[in-house]
Amino acid sequence: MDAQDLGYALTQVVHNLGAVSVTGGAAAARCLRFSEPQAAQRRLVWLVLAGWAAQGASGATFGAISYATYGRFPDIHGIAVAALALKMVCAAAGFSLGVLYLVRASGWSAARRQGAWSALFGFALAALTAAAFLRWFS
Amino acid sequence: MNLLKALLLTCALGISGIALAADGSVTISSPADGAKVGTSGINVAYSVVTGPKGDHVHFYVDDKEVKVLHELKGTYTVDSLKAGAHTLCIKIVDKSHTPIGVEKCIKVTAG
């Protein structure tokens, strides 16, 4: 088994689990009743935060494996660069909003919390869509 | 003795052929290196052996990537080239789009 392929595969596992966490966590949270106690929502925020962290770390690891193997990063242009930039913005925004939620959401109205989850779900969908373009364009 | 030489030569060629296939290779059969071409609809015929590390290829005009090619043998048409000298390259890349160091470049003059 090739070490590079194994590295890519294991990194892809983390990346995929991160994608599931950010999307599924936000989707599940939007199904909750926002007027009820916040414990479930806070648990889901932790899941989403972990997911964005995994996405960012594994994305960087993809580049690191390429650099370690060939001495250069993936050769991407045009649409793929835009897709990668969008993924990075979504990860940064999703992670930041998740942290903000943990710190401040206890004082937020139900509508505001719902809005935050909608935004987190939107970031996740945008990142997933961008990932497809990053994979097939370069 | 001649038979021994022939055997050694055959083995050497065979081994180098295997090594080439293992590392991957790119062939551009047309246009020829140094050829004069038109300024539009330039057909570039190529064939690629990706090797164990490669996955697909990227096509470059003057170091700018213009197309991702997943077909390993075929023809890619460059829509247009400004008059003058240009470099056309095909590079084998891995699944993450990283060039693995196997490429073929030709120089053409459009006009």
SS3 letters across chain A:
CCHHHHHHHHHHHHHHHHHHHHHHHHHHHHCCCCCCCCHHHHHHHHHHHHHHHHHHHHHHHHHHHHHHHHCCCCCCCCHHHHHHHHHHHHHHHHHHHHHHHHHHHHHCCHHHHHHHHHHHHHHHHHHHHHHHHHHHCC
**Residues in chain B within 8 Å Cβ distance of A80:** 97
Determine the distance in angstroms separating the CA of A67 from the nearest CA of chain B, rounded to an integer: 9
Structural domain spans, chain A = 3-136
CATH of domain B2-110: 2.60.40.10
Q: Are B13 and B49 in contact (CB under 8 A)?
A: no
Closest approach of A17 to chain B, Cα-based (Å)? 19
Contact B65 A74 (CB under 8 A): no
Reported ipTM: the value is: 0.71
- State residue A110's pLDDT score: 87
Residues on chain B touching A135 (C-beta within 8 angstroms): none
Which of B53, B58, B98 has its CB closest to that of A73? B98
Query: How close, in Å, is residue B2 to chain A by CA atoms?
Result: 41
B101 and A CB contact within 8 Å: yes
Nearest Cα neighbor of B57 from B23, B105, B94 is B94
Closest alpha carbon to B92 in B81, B105, B101: B101
**pLDDT band at B20; cut points 50, 70, 90:** very low
Asked if the C-beta of B53 comes within 8 angstroms of chain A's C-beta atoms, the answer is yes
Digitized pLDDT (tens) for each residue of chain A, 138 residues in all: 778 889 999 999 999 999 999 999 999 998 877 666 678 889 999 999 999 999 999 999 999 999 998 999 999 989 999 999 999 999 999 999 999 999 999 899 989 999 999 999 999 999 999 999 998 887
Q: Is the CB of residue A47 less than 8 Å from the CB of residue A95?
A: no
Query: Considering the entire predicted model, what is its pTM?
Result: 0.78
From residue A16, give the alpha-carbon distance in Å to each of A13, A126, B87. Answer: 5, 15, 39
